[in-house]
Amino acid sequence: MAKGKTQQTTLPDNYLSIASPTEGLYKDNGSRFLSFAYPCKDAESAEEIVKGLRKEYYDATHHCYAYRIGLKGDIWRANDDGEPSSTAGRPILGEILSRNLSDILVVVVRYFGGIKLGVPGLIRAYKAATSEALDKAEIVTRTATSPMKIVFPYHQTDKVLKELRKRNIEESDKKFEEECSVTAHVPLSMTETLKEVLLKMDGVKIL
Question: Phi and psi for 113 in degrees, rounded to 5?
Answer: -100, 5
pLDDT, tens digit, 9 for 90 and up, residues 28-79: 999 999 999 999 999 999 999 999 999 999 999 999 999 999 999 999 999 9
Domains held by the chain: number? 2
Contact 93, 78 (CB under 8 A): yes
pLDDT, tens digit, 9 for 90 and up, residues 83-131: 999 999 999 999 999 999 999 999 999 999 988 999 999 999 999 999 9
- Looking at the fold, whether 87 and 154 belong to one and the same domain comes out as no
In 3D space, the residue among 153, 94, 168, 92 whose CA is nearest the CA of residue 125 turns out to be: 92
Q: Is residue 167 part of a domain?
A: yes
Q: Is residue 9 part of a domain?
A: no
Last residue of a domain, one of 121, 141, 161: 141
> pTM of the prediction?
0.82
Question: Phi and psi for 121 in degrees, rounded to 5?
Answer: -65, -40
Residues 6+ apart with CB under 8 A from 57: 34, 63, 109
- Looking at the fold, whether 39 and 95 belong to one and the same domain comes out as yes
Quote helix, strand, coil % in the chain, to nearest 5.
Answer: 30, 35, 30
Structural domain span for residue 51: 14-141
Q: Is residue 1 part of a domain?
A: no
Last residue of a domain, one of 141, 166, 185: 141
